[in-house]
Structure 1
Amino acid sequence: MQVPAPVEYARAISVEHAIGLLGRLGEEARLIAGGHSLLPMMKLRLANPEYLVDINDLHAELGYIEVGPTEVRLGAMTRHRELLESDPLAAVCPIFRDAERVIADPPVRNRGTLGGALCQADPSEDLSSVCTALDASCVIQGADGVRVVPMDDFHRGPYETAVGHAEILTEVRIPIRPGGSSAYAKVDRRAGDWAVVAAGAALWLDEHATIADARVGLAAVGPHTTHLPEVSRALRGREPSEAAWELAGGIAASACRPVTDSRGSADYKRHLAGELTRRTLRTAWERARERGGASWR
């Protein structure tokens, strides 16, 4: 039976307490919330922290969903289940409900957190591509204060983020722009599994129903979540159409860098990247058009 190496345990009661514990315990300390990613890695001895700082008591402080007129604020301890069930969040960012429906299973969704998902920085992780598509920003707090890092700069590589020693991700901020909507799609080998390939897309229309902006985030096709600025540049100013989605899909397939592994060949993953990009952009447009009313039909 696989078991983790011996580890010391502490339980934080506030963000400041957690930051203080991390500072005192040193760089071999790790935060644990849901634990569904960290604990399996510890059992396999792929992660060997000397100390675990349990932050589950921080849910009261960091487990929130606030939908304002111009911005969504999500606490880092918000559970997957809470993201799935939030109607106000689904109304402005339906991509979250799309993604949460295909993340793992109920036990994981009941315990796993937004912050844990993003900070794991797994290249196949779902919510990273969601936040990339939505042009989110990450709020990081440490002993020296608070800093805000764009999602495009948050992941430094596989399992590496911009969160430094004795820092903690506290919040994710998502701008709300008029005329927009979003969608997520994923291909996996079995229900709730890591993605073979996944895509999140967000699209915004101007007053003439022309594409004002679009963003695509891909998972499982590179060393970290892949943002495709080439797609954004290609679609701005275009009329929404099958030709536009085909163009974006072709760019996505060419721009991503998947590798062949047990989940599929690189060519198969490139095909999926193109297809899922087309599918999610089309769905985001259909949703934006429905919200825009008769003038956009």
Structure 2
Amino acid sequence: MQRTLLERLDPVTDDVVSLVLRGADGPLAPWEPGAHVDVALPNWLTRQYSLCGDPADRGTYRVAVRYDPLSRGGSEYIHRFLRPGRTLDVSLPRNHFPLVPAPRYLFLAGGIGITPVLPMLRAATAAGIPASLVYAGPSVDAMPFAGELRAAYGDAVRIVATREHGRPDFDALAAGLEPGTLVYCCGPASMLAAAEAAFPAGRLHAERFQPLPRVFAPNTAFDAVCARSARTVPVPADESLLDALNHAGFPVPSGCREGVCGSCELRVLDGEPEHRDDIGAPEGRMYACVSRALGPRLVLDL
């Protein structure tokens, strides 16, 4: 973890605040567009936020947080109780939504989904790569950074206030897509579904804040063999691997507990995991919050 000082907390819209976190012990770890960090809050919760500042600025990180009325305590604490001057521990950046090289880009964002897209658009423009953004939200006043985007990128950014103009026509955008263009989309589930229906799968990169509803076979019990500790942890059918390990004294980091943030990644030495995450675990890795074993045991690098 990196120790940071909350330098600024600024309202961006009525329900979104921007946090500027300055490294308390010197430069912060480098990151690339699409990355996110875990922020450990003073109320003992850890939450994940996309980095939306400038990767060239090693002194600070910027994130933005929308208030969720159904908050599990993260966004409510930030909006109601967090104040500048507070020290916060922040993880090293992780990136499951990297900007792949392409001759041109089309970015699609909805609401707070603009946060990972901001540095992507900045990077593409700085590199001289043609890029455009379609940014949708209920009204301009409710859309974080809409003014900043218009001022910086002009006609390359199309702001769509859906209450007035309806949703963007993704089918028309797909029909006019130039060869080689990659499409990046982040926003609510309805926007992601519309993008997946309109754009070819090989051209579309999407990031989800919530996992897709999916059905898996019933849970079965298995053993987690911790190779470095020479211990075996039974994982009952009604308990996650993450919880079983934590209860056995292995403090595996965790954040979302939904298979979308990647903070609970483990190295698998033997056995076959049943991957239930939404970000695609790398070869030889698994996410302990949701994934399980396809056989009677897994050997883990713990």
Larger strand proportion of the pair? 2
With normalisation by structure 2, the TM-score equals 0.23
Larger helix proportion of the pair? 1
With normalisation by structure 1, the TM-score equals 0.24
More relative contact order, 1 or 2 (CA 8 Å, 6+ apart)? 1
